[in-house]
Homo-oligomer: A and B are copies of this chain.
Amino acid sequence: MTITITAFDRSPDGGKGLARDVRVRWALEEAGLPYDVRLVSFQAMKEPAHLALHPFGQIPTYEEGDLTLFETGAIVLHIGHRHPGLLPDDANARSRAVSWMFAAVNTLEPPILELTMARLFERDQPGYATRLPTLEARVRTRLHQLSERLGDADWLDGAFSAGDLMMVHVLLRLRSTGLLDELPRVAAYVARGEARPAYRRAFAAQLAVNTRPPAAN
């Protein structure tokens, strides 16, 4: 059955690979599944046709026959439940991998996004100088805790899993802040994720979309 995902027609990051479709591309590459991509403009994302797929007007979405999914965590988990390569076989280990998936999007990503968004959009606003150290401290706390848990292991819980996939991609948002470099174990963990052939194919695919020449009219 053909799998179709949506992605930004032009990602705001210009091809740095931070948009969430990369998580789904990466998961599909780990599972060895071919997929089609439908590119969606910012305007089209807010129109009824796309809102029928994604109630919050975002990307990515996932279509496979009758099924439509949204939220990268749910899409990655769906793929992982149906194909090898993303989740352990053991039932308990599988539940633990899901803990790391939720930790990535609910415990790490919110303070990371708040920091990176403030750096982008609040520099000229009153209170920025007060807020920045607070936002950085919150992220540092989480990175230290992650580093402690990781220790000398390659991945968060045994073999690479969807938990690592989600965590590594959330952490990539920090590259421009320099905070990753303060934690060598976390930086090495992110680098291991980026070195995976499946990630490299996913990254290259989004780069090709986001650096293509403008369409001739």
Contact = CB atoms under 8 A, between A and B. Distances in A.
Interface in A49-81: 51, 55-58, 66-75, 77-78, 81
A177 interface: no
B107 A71 contact: yes
B106 A106 contact: yes
Interface residues on A, range: 35 or more
Identical chains in the assembly: 2
A192 interface: no
A102 interface: yes
Residue among A56, A57, A95 with the most chain B CB within 10 A?
A: A95
Contacts of A145: 51, 55-57
Given A71-B98, A125-B127, 16 more contacts: A51-B145, A51-B148, A55-B149, A67-B92, A68-B96, A71-B99, A74-B98, A77-B98, A78-B95, A78-B98, A106-B106, A114-B114, A125-B130, A126-B126, A127-B130, A127-B131
Closest 6 pairs between A and B when the two form their complex, measured CB to CB: A127-B127, A71-B102, A55-B149, A73-B102, A74-B99, A126-B127
Interface of A: 51, 55-58, 66-75, 77-78, 81, 92, 95-96, 98-99, 101-103, 105-107, 109-110, 113-114, 125-128, 130-131, 142, 145-146, 148-149
